[in-house]
Chain A
Amino acid sequence: MSHTKPLVEDFATDFDHADPQWVSNPYPIWEDLRTRCPVAHTDRYGGAWFPATHELVSRVAKDTENFTSRSVVMSNLRPTDEDLPAPIGIAPPITSDPPFHAIARRLVLPAFSPGVVNALEPQIRALCNRLLDDMGDAAVVNGGTQFAQYIPVGVIQQMLGFPLEDIEMFLQIVIDVLDSIDSSAEERQATADKNRAYFEKQIQDHVDNPRDDFTTYLLNAEIAGGKLELDHVIGTMVLTLVAGIDTTWSAISSSLWHLAQNPDDLARLVNEPELMDVAVEEFLRFYAPVTMARLVAKDHDFNGCPMKKDDWVLLGFPAANRDPEVFEDADKFIIDRRENRHVAFGLGIHRCAGSNLARLELKVAIQEFIKRYPTFTLENPSEVTFSPGQVRGARNLPIRVK
């Protein structure tokens, strides 16, 4: 577990994304790596690399020959070639490589297209308002545990057609997969087995009672005239749950964390609602929650680094978003930044399939929160915590609203 691991002294040669310094404030670390390396290495997790510039992150993201997506969460459980349920991968399409990737992705994209997603706006707005109503007239609310985390979980629960009362369990599944990176391989496997049993139960329920939701959509989907294998259906459901919850929750909570500390930005958003679309992109750039991972597919030299097959590569889109080579005043949050080619949703063939939904949830959540609370501040800044690992966002977020 993390308390037995030595603290990192030099992130260039021994980086660890679970190190307390990286978790609390990774930005100065990345800036240092960009100028000093720019590809960091660590022997932890069995060996991993971290390119810190936009250019190199982009190169890895677009190179599916030298880097495989077989596992995208860097942990102590490293899949071997034998573990791969080829060609599907554990959570298609995010864990799929070409050529199967295109087939698996084409299958899910229509369910997340802007046309389908935009229709969910009223229901997301209603969900936000229910959560705000539940806070009553408290003077201090928790923007993380009472608001942000319940928005994506509520949306995904409805989308998959899972029981409402299982929401707390979904949150636990997400935390098991993403936050517990220091668990042993055995612990991670036991959790995966337990989660699989739950998904099989929900699938059986949908087989018995088909309805208009994403689970039934997957059960009816076909590849080359045949229904999807069970592993494929479960993998995509796990992906939807894991990738759809923690990520958006983090983006919402980090945005509220920012507004609670920057009254000028909050006032501008309240007074100039037309700024919201550009502001959302700047929240996504500045507080991009998601760092991906790849495995090196074959021995090769990458920017002077001798990468070996099965080394991890941590793919830092949030670091790329702070690269001064690409963004003017990269380390400044500029709420009306008009030119913003951020890569919060990744680059290349694995662009976040849920990006349209995430963007909508983030926008509606901020709109409704600031409508209810036009002024608010951080209560006890020292109590704010951030999630460890590859999805970064404020977790405990006490906010004084009156």
Chain B
Amino acid sequence: MKVVINADACTGQGRCFGIAPELFDFDDLGNGVVKGDGTVTTELVEKARLAEANCPEHAISIEE
């Protein structure tokens, strides 16, 4: 499982790195970026799902 951010849709709402700092970081403009290659380990599945479900811009997707 991987998390992906659609950079065209992200406006820097800040929810993903607030909910799952293990999976997401921010750039110098405050936009969300995926850490590493976005691989979600078992213990982070719930956080990945919540990050996706809380993005107001629908910019996050989860690839199985």
Residues of A in contact with B (beta carbons under 8 Å apart): 106, 109-110, 112-115, 277, 281, 338-343, 345, 347-349, 351, 355-356, 359
Contacts and interface: CB of A to CB of B under 8 A. Distances in A.
Contact of B26 (A113, A342, A345, A347): A113
Contacts of A112: 30
Nearest to B19: A277
Contact of B56 (A110, A113, A347, A356): A347
A351 B26 contact: no
A114 B14 contact: yes
Interface string B34-64: 0000000000000000100111111000000
Nearest to B31: A109
Given A109-B29, A110-B28, A114-B17, A339 B53 contact: yes
Given A347-B11, A349-B11, A114 B30 contact: yes
The 4 closest A-B pairs by CB, nearest first: A351-B11, A109-B29, A113-B30, A339-B53
Given A339-B50, A347-B56, A106 B29 contact: yes
Given A277-B18, A349-B11, A356-B14, A115 B26 contact: yes
A214 B23 CA distance: 31
B6 interface: no
Given A339-B50, A351-B12, A113 B18 contact: no
8 contacts: A109-B12, A112-B30, A113-B30, A277-B19, A343-B56, A351-B12, A355-B12, A355-B13
Contacts of B53: 338-339, 341
A106 B28 CA distance: 10
A279 to B, nearest CB: 13
A347 B14 contact: no
A106 to B, nearest CB: 7
